[in-house]
């Protein structure tokens, strides 16, 4: 299983020759940003649909009639994800050159959770448990049986997690001496963070953002665990609690492959090949604009069983030529 997935991942990464910056591939990074903000918050119960997320992030418009908390959850997550992408590619004084620092971890949580905390703080939070601060409450055992450490142990346990990531960093960067497939090592680190559960709220979001900080620093795109994978994700995390990291590793490997394809496909797709709209967006048409054109029948496109719209370069060029052409009046 891993030999095939890992081979495909490394082949695509080799062809890419390093991740392009958000300025170089703005439309692709933007689509990943929308997808991540939507799906990662949806895993936690947020009900905004992708169209509402796109309008919120691109236009600042709260479309729909959802509770304010849901819009601030998405906005906070999106702000944190954008910071993670930039920090991974062009680190500032928050970084010391390691794969992650404790201050970066706390900054992620603070950025993601401050907007929602401002309108709906955790009802049990004490004055020292706000965004970026460790919990000072014990967490009840999860439904699957895993119990996070008592709160006095959280600072040391979180630092141990950071130290583990840093100690593993050299082997991760070299892809050698890991003792397990890369994706299983990442699965172990991701699962261990969730076991520590260092914050009173927002641990799932913070853990996925921290994982993406590691991935981008290792030269891989951020992963997006989509909401339809929620049951599989939770099941894989439960198995990881028991020491079986393979299911979670496979889920991460497939997500890595999906987003590597987003960067690679625009460079290799022929003019008639059907590819996701994210691979066809450019300065003239965003992914949202192409999706809207597809839904209205203006762009020749098909929607697959996975919900993703696909079209071709040729179809987009045809749409560009006809977009501003006056339609004949029907009498």
Residue 78 shares a structural domain with residue 93:
yes
Are 184 and 38 within one domain?
A: yes
DSSP line for 118-170: HHS--TT--TT-STTS---SPPPPPTTS--PPPGGGHHHHHHHHHHHHHHHHH
Closest C-alpha to 148, from 207, 210, 208, 193: 193
H or E element in which residue 199 lies: none
Q: What is the DSSP string of 171-196?
A: HHHHT-S-SS-HHHHHHHHHHHHHHH
pLDDT of residue 269: 55
Cβ–Cβ under 8 Å, residues 112 and 65: no
Is residue 217 located within the same domain as residue 70? yes
Given this model, what pLDDT does residue 306 score? 66
Task: Note down pLDDT in tens along the chain; length 331 residues.
Answer: 677 888 888 887 887 777 888 876 777 888 899 999 999 999 999 999 999 999 999 888 888 889 999 999 999 999 999 999 999 999 999 899 999 999 999 999 999 999 999 999 999 999 999 999 999 999 988 877 789 999 999 999 999 999 999 999 999 998 888 989 999 999 999 999 999 999 999 999 999 999 999 999 999 999 999 999 999 999 999 999 999 999 999 999 999 988 888 776 665 555 666 778 877 888 788 888 899 999 988 998 888 766 778 888 888 888 888 876 554 444 4
Nearest to 215 by CA among 72, 74, 36: 36
Residue range of the domain that includes 315: 271-322
Q: Of all helices (H) and strands (E), which one includes residue 80? A: helix 68-89
Give the predicted TM-score (pTM) of the model.
Answer: 0.82
Residue 220 has a pLDDT of: 92
The count of domains in the chain is 2
| CATH number for the domain harbouring residue 137 | 1.10.3290.10
Radius of gyration of the CA atoms of the chain, in A: 21
Structure tokens at 110: 């603070």
Domain identity same for 171 and 303: no
Structure confidence at residue 317 (pLDDT)? 86
Q: DSSP readout, 7-37? A: HHHHHHHHHHTSPPPTTTTHHHHHHHHHHHH
Q: Same domain for 229 and 306?
A: no
Question: Is 330 part of any domain?
Answer: no
Element (H, E) at 261: helix 246-268
User: 189 in a domain, yes or no?
Assistant: yes
pLDDT value, residue 330: 44
Between CA 222 and CA 220 the distance in angstroms is: 7
Domain assignment of residue 329, yes or no: no
């Amino acid at each position: 299983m891993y030999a095939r997935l890992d081979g495909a991942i490394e082949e695509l990464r080799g062809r890419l020759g390093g991740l392009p910056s958000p300025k170089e591939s703005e439309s692709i990074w933007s689509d990943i940003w929308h997808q991540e903000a939507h799906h990662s918050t949806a895993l936690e119960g947020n009900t905004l649909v992708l169209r509402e997320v796109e309008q919120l992030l691109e236009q600042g418009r709260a479309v729909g009639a959802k509770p304010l908390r849901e819009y601030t959850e998405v906005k906070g997550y999106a702000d944190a994800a954008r910071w993670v992408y930039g920090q991974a590619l062009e680190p500032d004084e928050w970084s010391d050159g390691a794969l992650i620092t404790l201050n970066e971890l706390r900054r992620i949580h603070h950025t993601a959770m401050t907007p929602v905390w401002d309108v709906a703080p955790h009802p049990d939070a004490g004055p020292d448990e706000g965004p970026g601060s460790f919990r000072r409450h014990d967490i009840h055992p999860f439904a699957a049986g895993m119990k996070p450490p008592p709160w006095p142990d959280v600072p040391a346990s979180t630092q141990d997690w950071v130290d583990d990531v840093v100690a593993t960093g050299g082997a991760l960067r070299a892809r050698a001496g890991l003792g397990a497939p890369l994706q299983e090592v990442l699965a172990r680190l991701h699962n261990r963070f969730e076991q520590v559960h260092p914050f009173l709220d927002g641990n799932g979001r913070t853990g996925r953002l921290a994982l993406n900080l590691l991935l981008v620093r290792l030269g891989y795109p951020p992963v997006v665990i989509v909401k339809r994978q929620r049951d599989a994700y939770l099941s894989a995390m439960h198995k990881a609690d028991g020491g079986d990291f393979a299911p979670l590793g496979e889920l991460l490997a497939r997500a890595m492959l999906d987003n590597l394809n987003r960067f690679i496909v625009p460079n290799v797709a022929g003019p008639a090949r059907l590819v996701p709209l994210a691979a066809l967006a450019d300065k003239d048409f965003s992914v949202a604009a192409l999706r809207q054109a597809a839904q209205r029948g203006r762009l020749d496109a098909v929607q697959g069983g996975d919900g993703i719209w696909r079209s071709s370069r040729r179809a987009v060029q045809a749409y560009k030529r006809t977009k501003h052409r006056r339609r004949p009046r029907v009498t």
